[in-house]
Structure 1
């Protein structure tokens, strides 16, 4: 008997993305009830797996022009798959998803991972006129698609307040997808060589440049410390700036790309680091969220430094997992780090509360049949 087909589709994310594949996809695969179809970006052909098929929307440069016509290719993929349930993870794919729903009668779920309009307004990546057009375009797509969406998934709890008109939703935060590591208390030794890590999507509002300048100040006292930066930069000019800054500091190791990276590469970077840096700007598009990196740190037992945020502090204090201070305060960089290094971290072991809620997601999908 053929298993029901479920498709999970994104535009900017790699095929084996942290959320679409590792959280949503692997949760469904463990049920052995469905055939999964993962749609996204890839530069290479993914390995063959039982009950999982991969479809590439992009396999090279993701230009604005190509992204504009992405729905045409998406239509063809949906026609080939004929899914029973379609999970769309970005507004860009909603037009094709809604259109094909009339033909194939599938259930449409919108996994709302970002407040895209708020991001466009605050993330400083577009000229003002393009920003206005983008806000209007996103608003038009999301509002006109709303009557055809059977259910929403909120990737952040704060979306309950940010999207008050949406009532049919399930909150599934970006918690860790796998088993929680057996975490022991962490205490840094005097004269220990420290490796810092910044990973993920590298943009201006992530605060990577500020973290590099902070690290350069640290090197004046701790010249043997290292900073590893692993991730992809969606804006080429920003990637160029990072490379120019890092090129003058031999203690900085860059593993960056203009294309999205498979999540496994990010996880590998955690294995060799001692402290994770979370230098995010405190904008209203960022500060109410709990970064997925924080859940990764908790699950893997990695201490972290974050920009001051009351919600993040509450979580860090619960597990004694990290401290917050301002990365722009380079005058006190060494003093702040010295205070950090004197602490004992993870005296309280994280439990299943930091794991992705697979049961709720599986129940949601079962309710669609």
Structure 2
């Protein structure tokens, strides 16, 4: 009987990618195995047969308690003694390497972030800390690479950004395509014909200045002057405790807003239910080194749910939007909220038709991506020890 351990730190033990997508997909392939999922507090109460959750982490992004994450994880590995480890965060690699020195298990690194770039280009850490921390993270990844069996890349751009790191091991791109938790709509939700009818815009997922949340709120504030019927729903989790009170105050001061979450993770099923009730999704990610080439997972979700998106201007995101046979969204300069011509833009998007053709969501669904993941693990299993 195979034992799998899937591990992250800041994400829930029943995370959408590690558990709901990859874990449950491989559970059908490795029938009869035990699947252990490690992370923070769970979002749901599901307990499928053969699945064990370990919500052992409970701290913020910059908490000193994160220094003990490896100790907790290492102790769990010695108790479970897995045959496979899928680790989704760089800080757990030291514990994995130590365990691998005394075990013949296979280790797969699920690269969900380019951590060094994230540290350099976001404001989570003080400026003086960013460069040495980025260097340390990359050093850990290179040092651990000898003990890894392979890599899963959550973004296509990682194939060239991390080319030297992954060159000597098998790797596969497994994007965060949409796994519907609620039924997909047959047609997109259209605003009602009356000019005064509400137009609901949805800002969901990670809420942080580094993810463009402040720019989105300023954009919404300015947009209301030209489009007074617009509403903003904010549904998601804020990983920065110091920003949460400020975000709540900001939302309370803005008319026609409502929010859910902020202090806690919002289950994916709830966010997807909001997709079916909104008219627009806002993805205001800033265009810098950490985000510029990535395709956000919410973009796959919104397209699958036929929810038009507003994204920051970026050639990579524009190319993705243009790859569909029908109009699925627009790029706007969220960063230029003070100088943007809202009246002209509102007139333009009100005349634009979205999802007009017979739309097939298959290319953005997890059911199209899963076979690639299964084939990769079957290949690793057939190779034996790939160190």
Q: How far, CA to CA, are the matches of 2:286 and 2:236 in structure 1?
A: 18
Q: How far, CA to CA, are the matches of 2:27 and 2:279 in structure 1?
A: 33
- TM-score normalized by structure 1? 0.92
Q: How far, CA to CA, are the matches of 2:346 and 2:30 in structure 1?
A: 48
Shift of residue 240, structure 1, vs aligned partner? 2.6
Q: Deviation per CA, 1:162-217: give whole Å up to 9, x if none.
A: 01111221111111124983543665444232111111111213211111111112
Please name the residue that 1:340 is paired with. 349
Shift of residue 129, structure 1, vs aligned partner? 2.3
Does structure 2 conserve the Cα–Cα contact (< 8 Å) formed by 1:15 and 1:262?
no
Q: Unpaired runs of 5+ in structure 2?
A: 382-387
Aligned length: 367
Does structure 2 conserve the Cα–Cα contact (< 8 Å) formed by 1:200 and 1:231?
yes
Change in 2 beyond 3 A, CA 1:341/1:119: same
Change in 2 beyond 3 A, CA 1:350/1:287: farther
Please name the residue that 2:23 is paired with. 25
Does structure 2 conserve the Cα–Cα contact (< 8 Å) formed by 1:207 and 1:279?
yes
Shift of residue 134, structure 1, vs aligned partner? 1.5
Shift of residue 62, structure 1, vs aligned partner? 6.3
Please name the residue that 1:172 is paired with. 174
Change in 2 beyond 3 A, CA 1:44/1:291: closer
Please name the residue that 2:329 is paired with. 322
Pairs within 5 Å for 1:293-304: 293-304=298-309
Q: Deviation per CA, 1:241-289: give whole Å up to 9, x if none.
A: 3222111113111223344443333223223211100111111211111
Q: Deviation per CA, 1:10-47: give whole Å up to 9, x if none.
A: 00111222211222122123336132211100067843
Does structure 2 conserve the Cα–Cα contact (< 8 Å) formed by 1:39 and 1:54?
yes
Q: Does 1:196 align with 2:201?
A: yes
Q: How far, CA to CA, are the matches of 2:136 and 2:59 in structure 1?
A: 25
SS at 1:9 equivalent: strand
Q: How far, CA to CA, are the matches of 1:116 and 1:60 in structure 2?
A: 19
Pairs within 5 Å for 1:26-45: 26-31=24-29, 33=31, 34-42=33-41
Does structure 2 conserve the Cα–Cα contact (< 8 Å) formed by 1:184 and 1:347?
no
Q: How far, CA to CA, are the matches of 1:187 and 1:266 in structure 2?
A: 19
Change in 2 beyond 3 A, CA 1:221/1:62: closer
Q: Unpaired runs of 5+ in structure 1?
A: none
Change in 2 beyond 3 A, CA 1:156/1:249: same
Does structure 1 conserve the Cα–Cα contact (< 8 Å) formed by 2:12 and 2:55?
no
Q: How far, CA to CA, are the matches of 2:273 and 2:114 in structure 1?
A: 29
Does structure 2 conserve the Cα–Cα contact (< 8 Å) formed by 1:40 and 1:58?
yes
Please name the residue that 2:288 is paired with. 283
* Matching residue within 184, 205, 217 for 2:210: 205
Change in 2 beyond 3 A, CA 1:141/1:60: closer
SS at 1:339 equivalent: helix
* Matching residue within 347, 354, 360 for 2:364: 354
Does structure 1 conserve the Cα–Cα contact (< 8 Å) formed by 2:13 and 2:42?
no
Change in 2 beyond 3 A, CA 1:25/1:283: same
Change in 2 beyond 3 A, CA 1:226/1:30: farther
Please name the residue that 1:58 is paired with. 57
* Matching residue within 376, 382, 386 for 1:364: 376
Shift of residue 57, structure 1, vs aligned partner? 2.2
Change in 2 beyond 3 A, CA 1:342/1:45: closer
Q: Deviation per CA, 1:108-134: give whole Å up to 9, x if none.
A: 000011110011000022112221331
Q: Deviation per CA, 1:40-71: give whole Å up to 9, x if none.
A: 00067843221211001214666622111111
SS at 1:69 equivalent: helix
* Matching residue within 2, 9, 14 for 2:7: 9
Moved >6 Å (runs of 4+)? none
Q: How far, CA to CA, are the matches of 2:113 and 2:178 in structure 1?
A: 18
Please name the residue that 2:104 is paired with. 105
Deviates more, 1:32-41 or 1:150-159: 32-41
Does structure 2 conserve the Cα–Cα contact (< 8 Å) formed by 1:172 and 1:361?
yes
Does structure 1 conserve the Cα–Cα contact (< 8 Å) formed by 2:232 and 2:258?
yes
RMSD: 2.2
Please name the residue that 1:67 is paired with. 66
